[in-house]
Structure 1
């Protein structure tokens, strides 16, 4: 009996569409349910920054593998804050593994990363994903660091603090935000007008102020009934004085005012100061995401 020839298609995109968002979500739910692991695909962020296809393909971020019009493998490239670092995460349908499908889109992604001259490329894998670690080892990935995904499970009573205040950032804060990103996250200190884009993403960056002086920042991304905290930092000269805890509590209070109590964030596992701060405010560890750097970048 002759073997059926399947119709296979690889789709390369700069941004995902609503349809592709749903397809990737469905595949993610299937994989995570079967493997008992988590993925960090940044799908909500990616959907929100999609651009009109008439602009033309400038950078490829999305790699989708279809068999008979069914999405069976996906890989995405994420790059944030002008850091020139590419983060790669993806998955393959359980019934289509060990067939080389993911390797095909991975090789295409590597070509794209080289074109974009990334200084560093990181491969992400849940700490419990044996298949993910096995693949990363096969492409010579080297362990770099790990992050906890943390979540605030219980509603807490938070009062406004008088020591610091959070002010919604405006266009004039762009250079200061870029400067702080360079200090906190080693991002290149390049000013970009991103606040209007943040509005479209339902994301708000707040400046942490002490006596009307910006001593840090914190960003909150809102969805219908949950939020994600990112980009949080206090300038070195103001650390160890309780300002970080006060800023986080004020952010939580502002979120709670919108009747939202499901709040998540990521924190590097080695950052004991931040870990203790989040735990003190009621956050608990959900999962561990390991980051591996590719040796040839």
Structure 2
């Protein structure tokens, strides 16, 4: 786990890279701060006491995601390659079921470096922010009294595992690991979606980014889809977070047209794209 000074150094370097490159990096500040964060997950390169390179591994169940950065004035010196080789030498990646590199589509440096290792493009994800004036009224929206939500409980575990396998085609072990990691985070809160008293889905709210509330992992039981439940719960989350002074955000794969239409009808608009690359170990 990084200490407070190191975390401040990471944030400072992130700000420099984002401003100079015109990008948004997914560095998952909440996960970097977890007391339970394992060893060999964070790699730093300093020159004259200044952090100029950083690479982090993030565990989502059995899957690892990789994200990092190098100060714009120090690129093309092999710094990120050194950090990557350190991560490889640690043996941490050999325990992962899969490894994904995350890179902003707007980045010019990331694709060039990714060509030097054994990886291939996998998918892209829109990052979307809610805009009040973009909401579309729907006369067929399910009444809020029919759809509600409640806190996640340990007894919901098997149902969530099944929802994620059916809805996202995820591995049971990966999802179980993700639930375990959520339980250790104070900024990720899972809720269960209820329809006429029946638990029919789940979602996660993430409060890692100041002034933002991120909606993740929204999935409805296949037997209850097409009834407006997803839209109804989204609107409830939007109203709740907006009234508390937070701007709702959500991510969606660029190929998921149905989800895109739903999110746009609720007032979300895309502002950035993140690319993901699958590493072949």
Range into which the TM-score falls when normalised by the shorter chain: 0.7 to 0.9
- Give me the whole-angstrom Cα distance separating, in 2, the residues matched to 1:172 and 1:96: 51
Matches within 5 A, 1:1-297: 15-47=1-33, 49-51=34-36, 58-80=38-60, 82=61, 84-112=62-90, 116-154=94-132, 161-190=144-173, 191=176, 194=179, 198=183, 200-222=185-207, 225-257=211-243, 259-296=244-281
Inter-CA distance 112–219: structure 2 relative to 1 (3 Å threshold): same
SS at match of 2:215: strand
- Give me the whole-angstrom Cα distance separating, in 2, the residues matched to 1:196 and 1:285: 28
In structure 1, stretches of 5+ residues that fail to align are 1-14, 52-56
Q: 4+ runs of 1 displaced by more than 6 Å?
A: 155-160
- Give me the whole-angstrom Cα distance separating, in 2, the residues matched to 1:127 and 1:44: 23
Inter-CA distance 287–196: structure 2 relative to 1 (3 Å threshold): closer
In structure 2, stretches of 5+ residues that fail to align are none
Inter-CA distance 198–157: structure 2 relative to 1 (3 Å threshold): farther
TM-score (norm 2): 0.88
- Contact residue 171 and residue 193 of structure 1 kept, 8 A: no
CA RMSD of aligned residues (A): 2.6
Inter-CA distance 260–116: structure 2 relative to 1 (3 Å threshold): farther
- Contact residue 43 and residue 56 of structure 2 kept, 8 A: yes
Cα deviation, 1:29-65, whole Å, max 9, x if unaligned, reads 1011111112111113321x124xxxxx954111111
Deviates more, 1:246-255 or 1:101-110: 246-255
Aligned match of 1:4: none
Cα deviation, 1:167-195, whole Å, max 9, x if unaligned, reads 11122222322332333333332556957
Structure 1 residue 128, shift from structure 2 partner: 1.6
SS at match of 2:95: coil
- For CA contacts below 8 A with separation 6 or more, give which structure has more relative contact order: 2
Aligned residues: 273
SS at match of 1:149: strand
Cα deviation, 1:141-184, whole Å, max 9, x if unaligned, reads 21110001111133779997122111111222223223323333
Structure 1 residue 114, shift from structure 2 partner: 5.7
